A and B are shown apart, each in its own frame.
Chain A
Amino acid sequence: MTEQVLQVEDLVKEFPGRRSLGDWIRRRPARPVRALDGISFELRAGEVLALVGESGCGKTTTGNLLMGLLPPSGGRVLLNGEEVGRLSGRGLQRIRRSAQMVFQDPYESLNPRMRVRDIIAEPLRVHRVGSSAADTAARVERAMTSAGLTPTGAYLNRYPFELSGGQRQRVVIAAALALEPSLLIADEPVSMLDVSIRADILNLLSALAKQQGIAVVMITHDLSTVAAYADRIAVMYMGRIVEHGPTRDVLADPQHPYARALLSVVPIPDPTARRRPVILGGETPDPSRIPSGCRFHPRCPVAFDRCPLVDPPLFEVGPDHHAACLLVEDGPRDRSG
């Protein structure tokens, strides 16, 4: 059995809401925005989990909580058995070493005044890793090789503006790898890149998981980019995981109506494909006013009378496959439904 790298238990994050004029007049406290409303998942070494959802569903907040960049309002995150939110000072530094982040925008996330060599060595300097200059250089070299920046000599002394988008993203990844983390959080790692480069970056991330045993959380709004790379998919809606299971099962037989709709509208590069897209009306509601009962019921095409009343938990619909919908309370729906 491979080791458990990450455990997320009932994680909640609330942001203080803006007090409206009406609230102020009625002396009502500000309505907090519940960005995350109790999510739980686990991740083993070498596993790739995709957190998928539309903007505002809480996936980026999750990433920030996993990194310890924000304190949770409830629940906890365990990284290699240590609780992330509770630590400060040295403990937090140690956690930060084992969890690293790959950001969305490789054009913005590199300091234009620094050379590639210094960018990748920066995390080592911050954490005072590397006993000597030679040791630091060796670690930088190793990280660059892992990130596919070879021959390293061709990149070491370049500035970011001299690199292409794909190369920049590799530099970001190399900097994240320099500390040899056990968890990599990739927030939309390819959405700013050209199509022809995306596959290479995704292949790289999945190879890092498989070969170096790094656990990877991929945060994305695009189901199609993760389909071939994630071991498991968690679909999020308004701060909750509404469906969670092995990639193959979720893609082939989604059980939650939201997951179904989301899957049905992903464009497929095949003009002859016969599909029935379920286009949901409207947009994700305001997270400061979460609907009663099932939070998806106002947009749900198959909602019935109990949905506004009962907040459904995750029901088991298959091996390691769960969905939060009253329709699957007694087992999975058949595929035609």
Chain B
Amino acid sequence: MTAVLEATATPPAETTRGAFRSFLRHRMGMVGAGMLLIALIVAVFAPILAPYDPYASVRVTIEDIYRAPSAQHLLGTDDGGKDVFSSLIYGARVSLIVGFAAAAIALVIGGLVGIVAGYRGGWLGSLLMRITDFFLVIPDLALQIVLVAIIGPSLGTIIFVIGILGWTTTARLVRSQTLTVRERKYVMRARAIGAGDGHILRRHILPAVLPLMLANMVLVISLAILAESTLAFLGLGDPTVISWGQMLNYAFGRGAVSAGAWWALLPPGFAIVWVVLGTTLLGTALEDALNPRLKRHHLETPGADVARDRALAPLPATAPGDASPILSVRDLSIEFDAPGGPLRAVDGVSFDLRRGETLGLVGESGCGKTTTVLGILRLLPPGGRVVSGQVWFDGEDLLGLDGRALRTFRWTRLSLVFQGAMNAMNPVRTIGDQIAEAIRLHTPGTSKEEAAARVGELLERVGIGQQRAGDYPHTYSGGMRQRAMIALALACDPDVIVADEPTTALDVMIQAQILELLSGIARDLGMGIILVTHDLGVVAQTCDRVVVMYGGSVAEENDAASVFASPQHPYTQQLLQSFPDLAHPDRALRGIPGTPPRLDDMPRGCRFAPRCPHAFERCQVERPPDYPTPAGGRAACFLLDPAEERRT
């Protein structure tokens, strides 16, 4: 699945460019930016925009107080006979100055604390974080009131007080980001190069932390503006400057309510809401775009995993008896939703699996092998869809089953062994419990004792031993966990097991143990196994048949002996040449030049043509169908077309 997403290659949000692009798509963020920009313009050009200078002293008569809005005074006058509209415009200056200055202080403190705590860690980090926690639980407003009351209300004091109380969220955010980046492999690599702390902080940590701090700063600004308004409203604002909170304070304190002078109350309130809303919208959008933790998955669009209009083909004719396939995949195609239109990850894949047979599905990452089996099991991730084809299982079309029928089917007849056994187990329940649950879920009426007996039997079968049934997954080693996964897959005695890279990330010795176990199961229990792997050696040693996939379709299929002895498709040939063989250590290995095709850029003709040494004109324009090979298999290559015989 990762390969599928990778192939679509949208730049990750980790690059600034990608983040900027995703920000532009954020409509609310653009609205917020616009609102803030208007406030900024008003503040900067206040002397030009305001019809009166609110700081000029004027002679006031009793008629000038609380005058209703008129052409002369657009928003009326306040308790001092001053023009409300002009005060409102000048108020923007104070609010924004306090907002930006306090946020800058908070950012410097928070950034420093966060980076030091995250990068240094240890006792210093713990101490800094405890201090942060302490500041976080203090009721800000109460402390601000006390501090301003003690120091005395001036613009400088207010900025300072808001700043030193507003850094905690920044510190926590920066620390967590620093911690993540510090553990990254590229920081380790920089250290191995010989880089000191200064270099790592400057070149690796800061560029990763700064954008996040920027987004956070916008949010801190909005909080600071709100805090300033609150303080001023409570009468703790700087009496020598006009701010929106101050205007509200005067209006409330000096009879605007009883005079019915709504024009003295509503506009400053509206202005505060305007700026705070604008900065919050902008800040949230920036955080969405820049904070990787908050990023939502763009593929998370729920929908049917099988397209309703999928093309149907009749059930393949099969002869009854042991040789008839238990599983027939016919012309299976799977697409994923992507911003630029659906991408076809699997294109017309067909193969059969007979009872008791082990089938190897091989190919490089991104070739569609995992997607194919997920499609067969109907476990495609959201956004993925079978668009055509059938999966016949013992005469029944799996793709036609509805939810409930599918669930019973899935574990009793067809089960799965995942790649990461660690993540497939519930860590807070014992292994025995989890296997028993699967048994009782699918065979209602099984008593606890029967289930426990079966669990013991299964654990013995996979070589764990029944005495470990009561242990939790974390006490199991990697190999043991994979064995437990296999026991779980065997729980309901299925006909077919799909094993997706069951031994990747395991040591060779453990791999040998697991493969021996799987072969034994196939032999003794007569189960069909589909083994998905990139390891040709594993295939050679465990599989009866091999399906080689490339670029979402089948390149070649045959029995294992023939595929390895005389590969027919150039891709299979090259893959074998690049694979190390311990039996012939002197054979020089050759990689396949070029890279596998991307899903959004599939070659028009044969998918392997751009990397194929034998490609000719026809390969560039036409998709090769399957041709029979001399050894009784099939391969999708024009070299096998009898009409092209002269070429071979």
Contact = CB atoms under 8 A, between A and B. Distances in A.
Interface stretch (A20-28, A30-38, A95-103, A303-311): A95-103
A266 interface: yes
A230 B611 CA distance: 29
B507 A221 contact: yes
Contact of A262 (B190, B509, B586, B591): B509
Interface stretch (B7-15, B235-243, B275-283): B7-15
A221 B207 contact: no
Contact of B580 (A126, A228, A280): A228
Given A224-B581, A268-B541, A272-B561, A175 B188 contact: no
B589 interface: yes
A270 B580 contact: no
Contacts of A248: 585
B589 A199 contact: yes
B460 interface: no
Interface stretch (B109-117, B193-201, B345-353, B410-418): B193-201
A122 B578 contact: no
Contact of B511 (A69, A172, A265): A265
Contact of A103 (B14, B188, B513, B535): B188
B324 interface: no
B75 interface: no
A290 interface: no
A113 interface: yes
B14 A202 contact: no
B512 A195 contact: no
Is the contact region of chain B dominated by helix, strand, or loop, or is it mixed? Answer: helix
Nearest to B184: A108
Interface string B161-201: 00000000000000000000000111011111111100100
Contact of A270 (B204, B564, B574): B564
Interface string B584-597: 01111111100110
A196 B513 contact: no
B482 to A, nearest CB: 12
Contacts, number: 192
B194 A228 contact: no
Nearest to A225: B580
A283 B565 CA distance: 34
Interface in A162-208: 162, 164, 166, 172, 175, 179, 194-203
A159 interface: yes
A101 B536 contact: no
Contacts of A279: 509, 512-513, 516
A199 B578 contact: yes
A213 interface: no
A212 interface: no
B497 to A, nearest CB: 20
B582 A200 contact: no
Given A54-B509, A198-B578, A247-B585, A126 B365 contact: no
B204 A111 contact: yes
B195 A196 contact: no
Nearest to B365: A194
B1 interface: no
A78 interface: no
Contacts of A280: 509
Contacts of A54: 507-510
A222 interface: yes
B454 interface: no
Contact of A269 (B185, B203, B208, B537): B537
Contacts of B551: none
Given A194-B365, A269-B576, A113 B508 contact: no
B189 A103 contact: yes
A109 B590 contact: no
Nearest to B504: A191
Contacts of A283: 477, 479, 507, 509-510
Interface of B: 9, 11-12, 14-16, 184-186, 188-196, 199, 203-204, 207-208, 364-365, 477, 479, 507-513, 515-516, 534-541, 543, 560-561, 564-565, 574-576, 578-583, 585-592, 595-596
Given A111-B186, A267-B538, 8 more contacts: A108-B186, A159-B15, A161-B15, A162-B9, A195-B364, A267-B511, A269-B581, A277-B516
Interface of A: 54-55, 67, 69, 92-93, 96-97, 100-101, 103, 105, 108-114, 122-123, 125-127, 159, 161-162, 164, 166, 172, 175, 179, 194-203, 221-225, 227-228, 247-248, 251, 261-263, 265-273, 277, 279-280, 283-284
8 contacts: A114-B203, A127-B193, A195-B534, A228-B588, A251-B582, A266-B582, A269-B536, A279-B513
